Amino acid sequence: MTAIALKSLRRAFGSFVAVKDIDLTIEDGKFVVLLGPSGCGKTTTLRMIAGLEMPSAGQILLDSADVTYVRPRDRDIAMVFQLFALYPHMTVRENLAFPLENERLKRAEIERRIADTTAMLRIDHLLNSRTGGLSGGDRQRVALGRAIVRQPKAFLMDEPLGTLDAEFRELMCIELRKLHNRLRTTTVFVTHDQDEAMALADHIVVMKDGEIQQSDTPEGIYTFPATMFVANFIGRPPMNFLTVEGAVQAGATDVQVAGQAVKIPTLRGSAARAVIGIRPSQLRVSDTGTLAGKIVAAEFFGSHQIATLTTDAGTVKVETDRNARLTPGQTLRLRLETERIVLFDAESEKLLASDTSLARAFGGYHG
């Protein structure tokens, strides 16, 4: 296992800066996911850690050793690619043995590692099959096996589940998490899929335009997103945004939304313009609710429904009971759960500190 530290890491391609002076520490034995839309810099960051891209500036440390310009083969890191990168003319056994033979390990050690790895991944029955004829799921297991068999200091994975169908991708998420729990090898995993990130990660790093927007646990990112981008990117459906009327001051305990007073956690910041953020699951349909809206659409998901409403504060989505009768044009009143509300500065789009967000930062929030 190993810790990975990125210090002021930068990668420019001419005038375009793909990664903008990021700082990040990946703790020993953690499963960390780099998450963001296409072009956000997550894969470039991963490739720099692997040594496949040279940084324009900054440092990469593995267990405190500077490996910024060390060759990939000398970093003792294994990488799993989206398109498997297997030798299709070789058998599974030959694919797994290849990197170990290059290390000039003894045949008995090679066979022991192959046996342990294939049993762990449940592909021992495929040892004599050529990888070119395997299904996508089996090839993904072989690709993982070729990384695991090396027993590296860290695993780097670049959207390894991207080519799999939805059902098998969900299964592989479970298998990957079980594998990590067993091996406890430091893992950096790149994806644009929030479901993969939330299912796999000990820690999520959300990126946008080459910068880190937030680095936190899945719960922390979901509950207290650092920016409106993170709030909108994480969550299905994403967080609702409601326009606040007038400025907000430090110490405020309520704000005006669509002409109604809405209770909020005590603010520790201020803003000339602010926006309330609240998840659809944290809105409640109530006859005494402060926010009224008309239904424009309702989606049935089996365990619940999602209603889309137009209100004077903007369009919102609310999670309702699966048996609720929802019809277009129907008016609902909504109650906002005070302890679940977050506020953003409308100009910077950053989270405004409040009693609840500060309590979480210091370990006192359990909402």
Q: What is the pLDDT of residues 40-50, one digit of tens each?
A: 999 999 999 99
Q: Can you tell me whether residue 230 is helix, strand or coil? A: helix
Q: Can you tell me whether residue 271 is helix, strand or coil? A: strand
> What spatial distance separates the first Cα and last Cα of the chain, rounded to whole Å?
33
Mean pLDDT of 291-307: 94
Q: Can you tell me whether residue 215 is helix, strand or coil? A: strand
Write down the pLDDT at residue 363.
55
Residue type, 27: E
Q: Can you tell me whether residue 123 is helix, strand or coil? A: coil
- Least trusted range by pLDDT, from 65-79, 105-119, 171-185, 221-235: 171-185
Mean pLDDT of 131-136: 84
Residue 358 pLDDT greater than 60, yes or no: yes
Residue 163 pLDDT greater than 90, yes or no: no
Of 289, 293, 290, nearest to 260 (Cα)? 290
**Cα–Cα dist 163/161, whole Å:** 6
Q: What is the pLDDT of residues 106-115, one digit of tens each?
A: 999 999 999 9
Domain spans in the chain, listed from the N-terminal domain onward: 4-223, 237-361
Q: Which CATH class is domain 237-361?
A: mainly beta
Q: Is 269 in contact with 246 (CB distance < 8 Å)?
A: no
Task: Tell me the percentage of the chain whose pLDDT exceeds 70.
Answer: 96
Q: Is 345 in contact with 273 (CB distance < 8 Å)?
A: yes
Any bridge partners for residue 344, and if so which? 275, 351
Which residues have C-beta within 8 Å of that of residue 296, sequence separation ≥ 6? 308, 309, 310, 315, 328
- For residue 333, the surrounding DSSP H or E stretch is strand 331-336
**What's the whole-model pTM score?**
0.88
Q: Is 313 in contact with 291 (CB distance < 8 Å)?
A: yes
Write down the pLDDT at residue 366.
47
CA distances from 304 to 178, 195, 332 (A): 29, 18, 17
Where b means 16+ CB within 10 Å and e means fewer, 275-292 reads bbbbbbbbbebeeebbbe
Q: Is 83 in contact with 160 (CB distance < 8 Å)?
A: no
Write down the pLDDT at residue 194.
94
Q: Which fold has domain 4-223?
A: Rossmann fold (3.40.50)
Residue type, 160: P
Of 84, 202, 101, 103, nearest to 145 (Cα)? 84
Rounded to 5°, the CA angle 32-34-40 comes to 170
Alpha helices for 67-106 (secondary structure H): 92-102
Q: Would 4-223 and 237-361 be classified into the same CATH topology?
A: no
Q: What is the pLDDT of residues 57-85, one digit of tens each?
A: 999 999 999 999 999 989 989 888 866 67
Q: Is 317 in contact with 326 (CB distance < 8 Å)?
A: no
Which residues have C-beta within 8 Å of that of residue 2, sequence separation ≥ 6? 28, 62, 63, 153, 154, 186
- Least trusted range by pLDDT, from 132-136, 205-209, 290-294, 325-329: 132-136
CA quadruple 74, 76, 82, 85: dihedral sign = positive
Residue 19 pLDDT greater than 60, yes or no: yes
Q: How many residues does the chain have?
A: 367
Q: From edge to edge, which strands make up the β-sheet containing 274-278?
A: 240-243, 274-278, 342-345
Residue type, 2: T
